[in-house]
Amino acid sequence: MALNNETKVGILAIVAIALFVIGYNFLKGKNVFTVSSTYYVEYEKVEGMTNSAMVLINGFQVGTVSDLYLKEDGSGKIIAVLMLDRGVEIPKNTVANIYSPDPLSGKAISLEYEGNCSDRNPCAQSGDTLTANLTGMLASMTGDLGPQVDKLKRMASGMVDSLKNKFAGGEGGDLKEDLTEGLEDLKATLSNLNSASRKLNRLLGSSSGQVTELLGNLNDISGNLKTNNSKITNIIDNAEQLTGNLKDVDLGKTMDGANDAIAELKKTLDEANGAIASAKTLLDKVSNGEGTIAQLMNDKKVYDNLNNSLRDLDFLLKDFRLNPKRYVNVSVIGRKSKPYEGVEDDPEGFQESGKQ
């Protein structure tokens, strides 16, 4: 069954609105095709984190940040809404840590916890609030330096204890040799720290231009959104008005009218097909020489006879016009009419042509 233009426009408008809603929610970090679990985290500050930021577990993405808003109590704290994929289970003691995966990307949230869900540590339910934590930029790029610092402290403590024992005379051996060895170890440690510092400086120096460009692009994007805010509002208003108009349209009545029109059109086409079939049958008979019309069209003798008859009729009419008394005898009472004189007996060779 063919659809009329109004129905096609209505279906196209519904599909366009659905795609608009899906795309809008996708840009906000929401997936309308999957069922997600929702968790809340309360931060003092978010360090530039935005909607649709990644939520990771051990570097693997398990969800996104669907919304950020200020807490309504006026404390200035920010509430982050996390949408985790279906099937991801986390304990209640999970810590939501904001950090930077690399200098060029935006902020992300890493979910950190120890152990799996158990009776002592049950799983968090959708709607629970997780513990918040914020990692500084330098710490998020360099990683956890705790083990290296502890190792350095142990080395320094051992060296100090050794010096104390040497100066106190508690142990034998060459003090100069031990001091030299300790100084060499300290020198090597400082050299390693210096090398790490240079690498970090080079990393920051090489990425400064890209970071500046990235911040500039983000500034341009936010400026464009601010400039076109009224246009975006108009688009949303138009979409709402269009949905309202579609709601008011009586699609059932429109479909009934379309069905009646299609039935009438089908009836008309059937009648036209019948007429065309009849005409085709008639033309086939004419082509095959059947009937009077076919004989008139195909028999030259009939054509010649008809042509001669028309010519004789023309001569007869001319003779009747020139010699009417030859065909009609009109007399007056008590008087005989005289023959008509002065008219030629054979106009334009009528008799001669008839003999031919």
Read off the pLDDT of residues 164-205 as tens digits, 9 standing for 90 and up: 666 555 444 555 666 677 778 888 888 888 888 788 777 777
In contact, 82 and 38? CB cutoff 8 Å: yes
pLDDT at 330: 56
Read off the pLDDT of residues 224-246 as tens digits, 9 standing for 90 and up: 887 888 888 888 888 888 877 77
pLDDT at 56: 93
Q: Answer yes or no: is pLDDT of 112 > 80.
A: yes
Between helix 300-322 and helix 291-298 the angle, nearest 10°, is 90
Domain boundaries in the chain? Answer: 34-142, 251-291, 299-338
Q: Answer yes or no: is pLDDT of 156 > 70.
A: yes
DSSP 8-state symbol, 339: P
> Tokens 């089908």 appear where?
266
> Tokens 């998020």 appear where?
140
Read off the pLDDT of residues 309-342 as tens digits, 9 standing for 90 and up: 889 999 888 888 888 877 776 555 555 555 544 4
- As a three-state string, the secondary structure of 21-37 is HHHHHHHCCCCCCCCCE
pLDDT at 302: 75
Instruction: Average the pLDDT over each of 72-81, 218-227, 344-353 and give the range with the smallest value.
Output: 344-353
Q: Answer yes or no: is pLDDT of 210 > 80.
A: no
Token representation of residue 147: 């083990």
pTM: 0.36
pLDDT at 343: 46
What are the counts of helices (DSSP H) followed by strands (DSSP E) for the chain? Answer: 9, 7
In contact, 80 and 35? CB cutoff 8 Å: no
Instruction: Average the pLDDT over each of 256-265, 267-276, 308-317 and give the range with the smallest value.
Output: 256-265
In contact, 116 and 103? CB cutoff 8 Å: no
In contact, 106 and 69? CB cutoff 8 Å: no
Read off the pLDDT of residues 27-66 as tens digits, 9 standing for 90 and up: 655 555 555 789 999 999 888 888 888 999 998 999 989 8
Q: Which of 210, 193, 121 is nearest to 151 (CA)?
A: 193
